Amino acid sequence: MSKHLIMKYAHQIARVIVHATENYAIALKMALKYVWYAVKTWNKKRFSKQNLVAAIHYLTASKKQIEAKEYTDGIPNWILRKNLTQSEYEAVNCDGSAPSIVKETEKAIDFKFNTDFGVIYMWCPKSVYREDLVF
């Protein structure tokens, strides 16, 4: 991607996120860092409208909103993916019902997920469980 396009996309993003920073120079700096990172990491040749919207969301979302996407009812998604099969993971992630606690030990919690496809049990370590992200 040419430097001209990098600046063009950065300015497009900065115009939208300037309200979050209240300073265009800071917004442009954040946008440039994001675009440059995308170009170097994913070898982007151009940004589609969806990429611009994702960049704007990433740069304006709070840290708690970004962390909430990495958790399902306080349980990290990587724990779910590691301990469940693909179909169980999709059922737990898409169902939307909150899990219930079956058993609790000193170091782990046994969760019960009631899904449309049946009941799923899973242990989760207390060290990675986040109660503040339970909705």
What are the phi and psi torsion angles at 70 (to 5°)? -90, 0
Q: Is the CA virtual torsion 21, 24, 26, 29 positive or negative?
A: positive
Residue pointed to by tokens 């000193």 = 106
Residue pointed to by tokens 């940004």 = 47
- Residue 22 pLDDT exceeds 80: yes
**For 92-132, how does the pLDDT look when each residue is reduced to its tens digit (9 = 90+)?**
887 667 888 999 999 999 999 998 888 999 999 999 888 87
> What residues pair up with 114 in beta bridges, in sequence order?
119
